[in-house]
Amino acid sequence: MAATTTAQAPADAQRAASRPVGLTILTVFTALMLLVATYMAFIYAPTERTMGAVQRIFYFHVGAAWAGALAFLVTAIAGVVYLITGKRSWDIVGHSSVEVGLALVTITLTSGPIWAQFAWGKPWTWDPKLTSAAVMWLSYAAYLMLRQGLDDPARRARFGAVYGIVAFASVIMTYFGVRFIEATIHPVVVGSSAGTGEGDFGLATRMVHAMVFSFITFTFVYATLLWHRIRLERLSDRVARLKAHFFSQSG
């Protein structure tokens, strides 16, 4: 037992030290995409007529919101798979995805009010979209607190999976439930025919380009961050294992 672990340890450490080529490529690529997305948001897209420059916040605001929602969907799916297979790797995916998703939703929730302060004259309203974004943030902050409050790793993983699934259902219901019933004042930024109805901004073609590119970019940002975060968790597992091994030997 001791012989195998000591033989394994250097190989383990080596694996931890070397970053996979794919991740390096992805990271560099994502950084480049972010640069291009910034260019498109600031210069390529025309200035919106009624709101002026502040409308450019939308590109990253919406991109981050999409990627955040995607992150929580991934957590829900990882939760289901974890409950079926019981594999730690799926628990890692779910946990990591929540953390990255929270960072992304934080971007959405802070950039939105800055725009709203100008457009609506107040930073916040209890509009369905805003409500569900806030609920989303709070639910997943609670997810992290739940994990923090549990010591047994198996239970932490199971409860995380269960809560991740329930939280996703609740976000969906808060959003769709309220959205279909009440008129939202939040502009429909995507999926609207340009220039119809009140609250629509009729995005010009270049604006659509910038928006679509931002969506793709933030998907890559999410994937990159998730990969890094998963590796971090693996590393943490390895350190914990080594620690336990070491203390059991010396103790």
Partner 1 sequence: MFALFVQSSTPNTVSYLILGYVIIGAIGLGYVISLVIRQRNLKRDLEMLRRLQEEEKE
Partner 2 sequence: MTLEAEKQRPAIHPAARRPTSLFRAAAAIVWKDLRAEWRSKETVSAMLVFALLAIMVFSFALEFDRTGREASSAGVLWATLVFAGTLGLGRSLGREKDQGCLDGLLLTPVDRSALYFGKLAGNFIFMGVVALILLPVMSVLFDVSFFRPLIVPALILGILGYAGVGTLIASMSIYTRGREVLLPILLLPIALSILIPAVRATRGLLEGIPFDELLVWFNMLAATNVIYIALAYMLFDFVVEE
Could you give the angle at which helices 205-250 and 2-17 cross, rounded to 10 degrees? 150
Nearest to 36 by CA among 169, 198, 218: 218
* Chain residues in the site for partner 2 (CB under 8 A): 83, 131, 135, 138-139, 142, 145-146, 149-151, 155, 158-159, 161-163, 165-167, 169-170, 173-174, 177-178, 181
- 161 within 8 A of 219, measured Cβ to Cβ: no
117 binds partner 1 (CB under 8 A): yes
What whole-number distance in Å separates Cα of residue 104 and Cα of residue 61?
Answer: 9
Asked if 48 interacts with partner 1 (CB under 8 A), we say yes
CB of 145 to partner 2, least distance (A): 6
CA distance 54 to 225: 27
Measured from the CB atom, is 43 or 142 closer to partner 1?
A: 43
Binders of partner 1 among residues 160 to 199 (CB under 8 A) are: none
CB of 242 to partner 1, least distance (A): 5
- 57 makes contact, choosing from partner 1, partner 2, none, with CB < 5 to 8 Å by partner type, with partner 1
Residue type, 245: H
Residue 182: DSSP 8-state = S
Q: Enter the tokens of residue 102.
A: 């929270």
User: Would you say 90 and 78 are in contact if contact means Cβ atoms under 8 Å apart?
Assistant: yes
Q: Give min distance, CB of 204 to partner 2, in A.
A: 36
> To the nearest whole angstrom, how small is the minimum distance from the Cβ of residue 162 to partner 1?
26
Q: Which does 181 bind (CB under 5 to 8 A by kind): partner 1, partner 2, none?
A: partner 2
Structure tokens at 241: 């294992």
User: Which of partner 1, partner 2, none does residue 235 bind to, with CB < 5 to 8 Å depending on kind?
Assistant: partner 1
Q: Smallest distance from the beta carbon of 178 to partner 2, in angstroms?
A: 6
- Minimum Å gap between C-beta 239 and partner 1 is 5
Q: Which of 30, 33, 40, 56 binds partner 1 (CB under 8 A)?
A: 56
Closer to partner 1 by CB, 114 or 188: give it: 114
Identify the sign of the CA torsion 188, 61, 138, 124.
negative
Work out the number of other CB atoms within 10 angstroms of the CB of residue 8. Answer: 12
For residue 140, give the DSSP letter.
H
Give dist(CA 156, CA 82) in Å, integer. Answer: 12
Helix axis angle, 205-250 to 57-85, nearest 10°: 40
Q: How far is the CB of 41 from partner 1 (least distance, A)?
A: 8
Residues that bind partner 1 (CB under 8 A): 6, 9-10, 13, 16-17, 43, 47-57, 60-61, 64, 100, 103, 106-107, 110-111, 114-115, 117-118, 221, 225, 228-229, 231-232, 235-236, 238-239, 242-243, 246, 249-250
